Structure 1
């Protein structure tokens, strides 16, 4: 069933677990993500990034998610991920997305506040949840989000409090040392910053850059307010590697390749579901 993001995150934030947000861009990723949620009986967030509008339209993404999601007993939220274009955000709301992320993280603070507040006014009137970002993540290996020139800018706790109060955003993505893509070295997370932010604001926090993050780091972040964890690159890298091996070993029918790829997506989604859904985690 398709739901609003707030329906999922409220309980996660209250009970100290996190919901996985997994990027989809074709039938195989959409079905793999939704099937993994159904098979584990856990909610999932199906994130469709604005970058993937070349793969399918917003309307097609909604139609596909609705068709697959209505057959699942587990809640599914279709979420627009990383979008800095206001017109596209509003189109996603009209198309039926249950949540949108307006990403003004590269703008001056005042402009980010202004645009995010405008999105919140429209989205909330339509029953849609809004995520925003404050701070900036660097780009890691195989990153397909952000840019190669992106540099780490940590989220300032006092500004995070001001931002949430001024925008009325429902969830806030923060920068504490994770990167988009895979890690080239062990991540150095600023849990002290995350803890300060969590003390100052009372909305679910979002961790982008979940691919490859060790389980102990994920649990430590969940204990400090993270209720949504984004995973994209690891799914892509794993599925490509497994597909390459399949094609090298045999000459399958194209339809069989698709079925196998659904399974590859499920492997990674289920891995992060196992990490994240640990109620009562104390860090």
Structure 2
């Protein structure tokens, strides 16, 4: 089926007090696993390509984007394509022509007013291209090897009043909020501030997004969705599944050279991870 509009998937989930899970992909095997897992769960999904993934692919956006479109068009469930954590304005302006229906423009590293100014300009451009746009306020932390911020560090949590003004003034369609998770966690030990999630949901009239969800336990994820999170971002969990399966295969078969065998096992492991997380965050069997 054709690519689904990200905004429609998220809006429907928000209205139903559910969430759409969005998975970051790096390889074709990631893409195939995300769609296979979503099909097994019988739920829509968002395939995300980050600026870091584009950098890994030597700055080339189209090969991975076109692979995602090709897989999505043959999917039995709705699949949206999202460009994630964009800091480069040049990359942002390649999004629409590459088939993306949405972007996450990341100016959270900047002081508030600079963040707002840059995000407002990005939102104006995105809306003129028919793109749905997500932004971030507060600091989730953990990107590019940086440590997560302490819970009491300035800017480590999203303030509801500031968030309301930011959403109004920037014109974004969704807001990623800092409520206790961190990017790139390899252990599921994050404890979310559920009271803050509820206060943010009450203060804003746009969907809330949780980044760094790989490190969040199932019960915490369920509570976050019940509190108002409508988009759940996952990346590291897929890499853990892939790497674990490949490592196990090579440990068991030290003379193996045919990458198809261990990549197939890695793809299957990622697909199982996708299905499990979707069922936790909003799939039919959740």
Task: Report the TM-score when normalising by structure 1.
Answer: 0.91
My pick for the range that moved more, 48-57 or 107-116, is 48-57
CA, structure 1 residues 134+60, in 2 after alignment: closer, same or farther (shift >3 Å)?
same
CA contact (8 A) 2:188 2:217 kept: no
Distance 1:172 1:269 in 2: 23
Q: What's the offset of the Cα at 1:109?
A: 1.0
Deviation, structure 1 residue 147: 3.5
CA distance in 1, matches of 2:122, 2:146: 27
Measured after TM superposition, the shift of residue 54 of structure 1 is: 3.3
- Note the C-alpha offset of 1:150: 5.0
Which residue, out of 193, 198, 205, partners 2:196?
A: 193
Contact preservation (8 Å) 2:43, 2:283 = no
Correspondence for 1:259: 264
The answer to whether the 8 A contact 1:103-1:133 is kept is yes
Determine if contact 2:20/2:282 at 8 Å carries over to the other structure.
yes
In the TM superposition, what are the counterparts of 1:211-222 in structure 2 within 5 Å? 211-222=214-225
Residue 206 of structure 1 contacts residue 227 of structure 1 at CA under 8 Å; is this kept in 2?
yes
Q: How does 1:1-283 map to 2 (within 5 A)?
A: 1-56=2-57, 57-139=60-142, 145-152=143-150, 153-182=156-185, 186-250=189-253, 251=256, 253-277=258-282
Deviating beyond 3 angstroms after TM superposition, the runs of 4 or more aligned structure 1 residues are 183-186
Q: Secondary structure at the match of 1:271?
A: helix
Q: 1:247 to 1:186 in 2, by over 3 A?
A: closer
User: Displacement of 1:149 after TM fit?
Assistant: 4.3
Rounded to whole Å, the distance in 2 between the matches of 1:38 and 1:184 is 27
For 2:21 and 2:106, the matched residues in 1 are separated by 19
The answer (yes or no) to whether the contact 1:205–1:226 under 8 Å persists in 2 is: yes
Q: Deviations over 1:58-106 (max 9, x none)?
A: 1112211111110012111111111111221111233221110100111
Specify whether residues 255 and 187 from structure 1 end up closer, same or farther in structure 2 by C-alpha distance, changes over 3 A only.
closer
Measured in 1, the distance between the counterparts of 2:129 and 2:175 equals 20
What 5-or-longer segments of structure 2 have no aligned partner? 151-155
Please give the TM-score of this superposition, normalised by the length of structure 2. 0.91
Q: 2:201 touches 2:228 (CA, 8 Å); kept in 1? A: yes
Query: 8 Å contact 1:93–1:100 — kept in the other structure?
Result: no
